[in-house]
Structure 1
Amino acid sequence: MKRLNICIDIDGTMTDPYYFMPYFNKYFNKDLSQDDCTTHRIDELYELHREEMDIFYEKEGEHMHRNATILPKVKEVFDELINYHNLYIVTARSERMAEITKEWLEKHDIPEVQLHSLGSYYKVDKAKELNCDVFIEDNPQNSLEIAESGIKVLLMDTNYNKTLSHKNIIRVQNWNDIKLHIDKLSKQ
């Protein structure tokens, strides 16, 4: 069994992919459902300008991230993987959210690993720096960039990434699927 370097996104991968929607719906007086969420671009989904997004995030970001719903089996699979592989959390969240992120991970008993808060959706350089073998991601743009750089991506299936395919992308439904695919990849 090969010890893999695994990079793991948080939002939409460890968290419910749609956890942000009640916050945006309330703040912007909308009534969108996860069925409406066919784009990963929240600004497009809610028809917002960048300035509106920035104001929202300044006011609601910490609360939203602090209370994000964790997906089933994240902790159990994380606990297993950490025994056999090198795990890194690589998130687009800004450094400003690093403490909130650490609190969220602790709250859910996720073992401590290196946290990389990039403040950018571009993750290829960090993945290469970490010699990433597998990246667990939900964002279609990130996934495609990572896959095109030669890194395997386990893509958490969501409404906003249904059309994405690439030879280096494996679509997964849940954390049990993630564990099965990592076990297969580590035996190759």
Structure 2
Amino acid sequence: MKEKRFGIDIDGTVTCPSSLIPFINESFALNITLEDIKQYDLAKALNIAPDAMREWFDQTEPAIYAASPLAVGADQILAKWQQQFHLLFISARRQHLLDITKQWFHDQQITYDHIELIGSHDKLDAAKKQQVDLFLEDKHDNAVMLAEELSIPVLLFNTPYNQDAAPENVIRVQNWHEADLWVNQWLKTGDIAPLLRS
């Protein structure tokens, strides 16, 4: 019987964090990599006017989401977790993108118990409603807020744009395989300490 309920962000967590980069480079005649994105706010990170970035993102969002590559190992770990846990995908994507989102999950052969597109980065209410025991996220302030407000562990997928300090129940992981190792440790010991790296 499934007991634990995992809240899982989609973009930059299940999808590869560099998904936007080819679209940015083509649209803005740039030649950047993920390592160049040091802030979550793309307008600030790229020194592009916020209105121009917002308009571009609104137009390009469906194509980005349809073409986003899967993060390495996500399909294997999620398939394993699906047998053990409730997988509840909670995303800042807007509701009109639900069909594209579900099609992407179908194409990637990722099963889920729930997908919720809330149209906002504030995932606290959705996470409370879904009674999540653990959250997986790539946005630093989301991770901190969820960890502090819900008193749950949050796995923060390490990227160049989320390097600020975080409380101890926000645990940085490098990839999905490390996330799985951490979950196994947590289930066995109840300990939320980061993995010890040799």
TM-score with structure 1 length normalisation? 0.93
Q: Does 1:185 align with 2:186?
A: yes
CA distance in 2, matches of 1:49, 1:148: 33
2:85 equivalent in structure 1? 85
**Residue 163 of structure 1: how far off its partner (Å):** 2.8
Q: Does 1:8 align with 2:4?
A: no
Cα deviation code 1:148-178 (max 9, x no counterpart) = 1112100101111123321111111111111
In structure 1, the partner of 2:162 is: 161
Distance 1:136 1:73 in 2: 14
Bigger shift: residues 47-56 or 138-147? 47-56
Counterpart for residue 171 of structure 1: 172
Length-normalised TM-score, structure 2:
0.89
1:143 maps to what in 2? 143
TM-superposed CA distance for 1:129, in Å, is 1.1
1:18 aligns with 18
1:58 is displaced (CA, Å) by: 2.9
Deviates more, 1:161-170 or 1:49-58: 49-58
Structure with more contact order per residue of length (Cα contacts < 8 Å, sep ≥ 6): 1
**Alignment partner of 1:103 is 2:103:** yes
Distance in 2 (CA, whole Å) between partners of 1:23 and 1:91 is 20
* Residue ranges of structure 2 left out of the alignment (5+ in a row): 191-198
Query: What SS is found at the alignment partner of 1:151?
Result: coil
Paired with 2:89 and 2:183, the residues of 1 have a C-alpha distance of 16
Structure 1 residues 58 and 162: alpha-carbon distance in aligned structure 2, compared to 1, 3 A threshold: closer
1:66-81 map, 5 Å? 66-81=66-81
Q: CA RMSD in A?
A: 1.6
What's 1:131 paired with? 131
1:50-73 deviations in Å (ceiling 9; x for gaps) = 321232123211111100010121
How many residues are paired up? 188
Partner of 1:116: 116
**Gap change, CA 1:21 and 1:158, over 3 Å in 2:** same
Looking at structure 2, the residues matched to 130 and 147 of structure 1 have their Cα atoms a distance apart, in angstroms, of 15
Partners of 2:126 and 2:186 in 1: CA distance:
21
Task: Give, in whole Å, the separation in 2 of the partners of 1:171 and 1:66.
Answer: 27
After TM superposition, give the deviation of residue 47 of structure 1 in Å.
Answer: 2.1
Identity among equivalent positions (%) equals 28
Give how far 1:139 is off: 0.6
TM-aligned CA deviation for residue 2 of structure 1: 8.1
CA distance in 2, matches of 1:125, 1:79: 27
Contact 1:15–1:71 (8 Å) recurs in 2: yes
Q: Which moved more, 1:107-116 or 1:39-48?
A: 39-48
**1:155 aligns to what SS in structure 2?**
strand
Q: Supply the distance in 2 between the matched residues of 1:103 and 1:49 (Cα, whole angstroms).
A: 32
Secondary structure of the residue that 2:161 maps to in structure 1? helix
Paired letter, 2:87: L
Q: Which runs of 5+ in 1 are unaligned?
A: none
Post-superposition offset of 1:8: 0.6
Amino acid of the structure 2 residue aligned with 1:108? Q
3-state SS of 1:89 partner? strand
